[in-house]
Structure 1
Amino acid sequence: MFAKPTRLAFLAALGAAMFSLTACNTPPDRQAFPDITFQHLPPINLDVAHIEIASDYRAADVQNENSADYPETPEKLALDWARDRLKKVGSRGQATYTVVEARAVRVPLPRSSGINAALKTEQSDRYDLSITVRLEAGNPLSGKSGTVTETVTRSQTVPENMTLNQREAVLFNMLDAAMKDLNARLEASIPQYLAPLVR
């Protein structure tokens, strides 16, 4: 005659079963991305006594805004650029660096239905990224002033069978490319349009 299982053995078996179910639902490990930074580059010296860094962008006002899906938000990185590159070296005057837009949007794409949907892999979403910044600077001592505005954009579609990690990699690459483009544009336009204020 078989002995009845003890309460302890029953709880142990139940715990093992629950652990097994939990393990099946464990999400994939999130991949780590390198920091996007410009601290390694030389500063852009401005003949001003104060630099204000601010953002006018309001993500909450944008439909399908998905900046939180990026490893770092475009708005934060656009602000970080100014902190990394701009340096005040004057005794008078002010520069104001403003993030005008840092729009990141996920656009669902139309897909086939019925038998056609089962026969092919389609593009499910398009990710659009647009960053605009403005730098205004002036020094009353020299009477010089100027403004620089730069915009960079990126757009990428992704297939419906892409994994979460693959999507995150796409977003990181878009953001990294956009910030490198923005950096290159500002490096060229600041000396051109703010030449009397660059030291």
Structure 2
Amino acid sequence: MTITRFAPLSRLWPCLALLFGLALLTGCAHDEGNETFPKADYSYLPPLNLNVSQITITSQIQPNYDDLTARSPNNPESDLQLMARQRLHTTGTSGSAQFIVTQIEMTKLSHHSFSGTYGVKLTLDDPTHQRHGFITARVHRTIEAPGSYSLERDLHTLNTALMDDMNVELEYQVRNHLASWLTDATGTPLNATTVQSQDLSSTELPALEGSAQQHAPLNTTAPAAPHPTSTTYESTTPTKLHSPPPGVLSLPQH
């Protein structure tokens, strides 16, 4: 007769705990690998209409194997170029613009601390009208990431923050240093002012530019006087002063 002895349950707990831990780690790694992130979109931001006929978008970034750019779920170089395509619009008939990505860096400072730096350059050239201009925009950001997040999520958070900063910085630089190149959606310069002349002897207002509608002649009849309700009106007619009758004035007594 064979007697089978089973190991006590207490001896099995370490093995069960090890198997459970391995399964948990495998599940976490599987979840991180399937983690998805939203794609970048800057089309909802106000466009920057430039008085040029074409825009070229290029990059001068050299591979840097010491940073973490390649691990970012959203490619920073692609996001910067997408920002240029969606925000910089052409409204002119001559001239050209060149948008250049000049710097992209992502580094890990400590276990949960990351920093990044983005830089771009925008040059404008219109030989026909002998106009030239350029601006540079550079942003830097440091974040402290929760320890429970994956590296990809931390880099996505850093990239999102840097792109938000770059959109603000680019618009600020363009509006403050390239204002003469900005137009509205129809191509009219934003800093242009239209001055119209009018014959002062005419009783008609000039028609608005681009409109065929004429204004009615000015009413040269003086308006009727308002009814005296609760409003107080002051008279502008000078009041005549009369001398007092004799005996009214007296000298002061000492």
TM exceeding 0.5: yes
Do the aligned partners of 1:144 and 1:196 also contact (CA within 8 Å) in 2? Answer: no
Q: Cα distance, 1:66 vs. partner?
A: 1.2
The equivalent residue for 1:35 is 39
Q: Which among 142, 166, 172 is matched to residue 182 of structure 1?
A: 166
Equivalent AA in structure 1 for residue 92 of structure 2: G
* In structure 2, C-alpha distance between the alignment counterparts of 1:126 and 1:32, rounded to whole Å: 22
TM-score (norm 1): 0.71
Partner of residue 91 from structure 2, selected from 89, 92, 95: 89
1:153 equivalenced with 2:140 (yes/no): yes
1:142, CA displacement in angstroms? Answer: 2.8
The aligned length equals 160
Distance 1:132 1:192 in 2: 18
Flag the structure with higher strand content.
1
Name the structure 2 match of 1:129. 116
Query: Which residue does the alignment assign to 1:5?
Result: none
Alignment match, 1:55: 59
Separation in 2 of the partners of 1:197 and 1:46?
6
Any idea what SS the aligned residue of 1:91 has?
Answer: coil
Whole-Å Cα distance in 2 between the matches of residues 158 and 32 of structure 1? 18
The Cα RMSD (Å) is: 2.5
Contact 1:138–1:197, Cα closer than 8 Å, also in 2: no
Shift of 1:23: 6.5
Q: Quick one: which amino acid aligns to residue 35 of structure 1?
A: K
**Is the 1:94–1:138 contact (alpha carbons within 8 Å) kept by the matching residues of 2?**
yes
Determine the C-alpha separation between the residues in 2 that align with 1:192 and 1:138: 18
Aligned to 1:139: 126
Q: Residues of 2 paired with 1:191 and 1:128: CA distance?
A: 28
Higher helix fraction (1 or 2)? 1
How far 1:148 moved relative to its partner? 0.8
Say whether the 8 Å CA contact 1:94–1:139 is kept in structure 2. Answer: yes
| Letter in structure 2 aligned against 1:172 | H
Q: What is the SS of the residue equivalent to 1:28? A: helix
Structure number with bigger Rg:
2
The Cα shift of 1:42 comes to: 2.8
Q: 2:115 touches 2:158 (CA, 8 Å); kept in 1? A: no
Q: Percent identity?
A: 27
**Structure 2: gaps (5+ residues):** 1-21, 184-254
- What amino acid is the match of 1:190? V
Between the aligned partners of 1:146 and 1:79, the Cα distance in structure 2 is 20
Shift of residue 125, structure 1, vs aligned partner: 5.6
Q: How much does 1:195 deviate? A: 1.4
* C-alpha deviation, 1:127, in angstroms: 2.5
Asked whether the equivalents of residues 145 and 194 of structure 1 are also in contact (C-alpha less than 8 Å), the reply is: no
Highest RCO, 1 vs 2 (Cα 8 Å, sep ≥ 6): 1
Within the candidate set 56, 71, 75, 1:73 is matched to: 75
Label 1:37 to 1:80 Cα distance change in 2 as closer, same or farther (>3 A): same
Q: Distance in 1 between matches of 2:105 and 2:51?
A: 31
Which residue number corresponds to residue 191 of structure 2? none
Output the TM-score relative to the length of structure 2. Answer: 0.56
Q: Structure 2 CA distance, aligned partners of 1:84 and 1:43?
A: 7
CA contact (8 A) 2:124 2:134 kept: yes
Question: Distance in 2 between the 1:132 and 1:181 partners?
Answer: 11
For residues 74 and 152 of structure 1, what CA distance do their matches in structure 2 show?
13
Distance, in Å, in 2 between the alignment partners of 1:53 and 1:93 is 15
Q: What letter is aligned with 1:68? A: A
Which residue in 1 is equivalent to 2:107? 105
Structure-2 separation of matches of 1:158 and 1:69: 16
Partner SS, residue 30 of structure 2: coil
